[in-house]
Structure formats: structure tokens, C-alpha cells
């Protein structure tokens, strides 16, 4: 596990949380202070974090779910992840599908 923070004058303005398996680091959660949005603090922190992860021996960083445009500044490769669900009843499966649809925006 690793938490990376970007500070400006003792104030954290961006954060990125990673966990790892072998030589792959998975970016699980990110955030930034909206007051600093114009300067893209999350992307600045990502660039520095990628250098740090490489120096620690990681050979892949998975930015996980989502097709946000900033991710494609760091790669030309995208993978599709497919999920499967099983439920005891059709109504449970419908509720699950509805929850998944809402979580994707």
C-alpha cells in the first residue's frame, strides 16, 4: 500500500492511493482540492508517482476503472474489464444491474 500526497505550503492538495500485487501497482482512489483544479494537481502528482513507482521496481501501473481523458496522456494501451454477476433471483440481479448503472454515472 502507498499513499502519495502533493503539498503546497503544508497543505495537501492532491492524493493518490495505491495497492500492489507483485510488480503491478493498482491506483485505487484519487482526489484533489477543487480550488487548485486549474493547475491539475492530480495529474502533477501522478507524473511524480509514476517515477517513484518505477524506481521501486514496479513495471506496470494500472489506473483502474474509467476512461478519463487524462489517463491517455500516460499510455496508448487500454484494456476492457468485464464483470459477471450471479444471483439467487432475477429481482436481486435487476437491483444489482441498476446499482451498477448508477455507479457509472
Report the relative pairing of strands 60-62 and 24-32 from DSSP bridges: parallel
Low-confidence stretches of the chain (pLDDT beneath 50)? none
Position 105 scores a pLDDT of 60
Position 36 scores a pLDDT of: 95
Domain count, the chain: 1
Q: What percent of the chain has pLDDT over 90?
A: 43
CATH number at residue 90: 3.40.630.30
Domain containing residue 16: 2-103
User: What does the pLDDT read at residue 75?
Assistant: 72
**Cβ-based neighbours of 33, under 8 Å, separated by 6 or more:** 11, 12, 13, 14, 41
Amino acid at each position: 500500500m502507498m499513499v502519495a500526497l502533493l503539498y503546497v505550503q503544508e497543505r495537501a492538495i492532491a492524493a493518490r492511493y495505491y495497492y500492489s500485487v507483485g510488480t503491478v501497482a493498482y491506483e485505487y482512489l484519487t482526489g484533489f482540492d477543487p480550488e487548485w483544479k486549474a493547475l491539475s494537481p492530480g495529474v502533477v502528482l501522478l507524473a511524480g508517482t509514476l517515477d517513484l513507482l518505477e524506481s521501486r521496481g514496479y513495471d506496470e501501473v494500472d489506473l483502474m476503472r474509467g476512461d478519463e481523458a487524462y489517463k491517455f496522456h500516460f499510455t496508448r494501451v487500454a484494456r476492457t474489464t468485464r464483470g459477471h454477476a450471479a444471483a439467487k433471483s432475477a429481482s436481486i440481479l435487476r437491483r444489482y444491474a441498476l446499482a451498477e448503472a448508477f455507479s457509472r454515472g
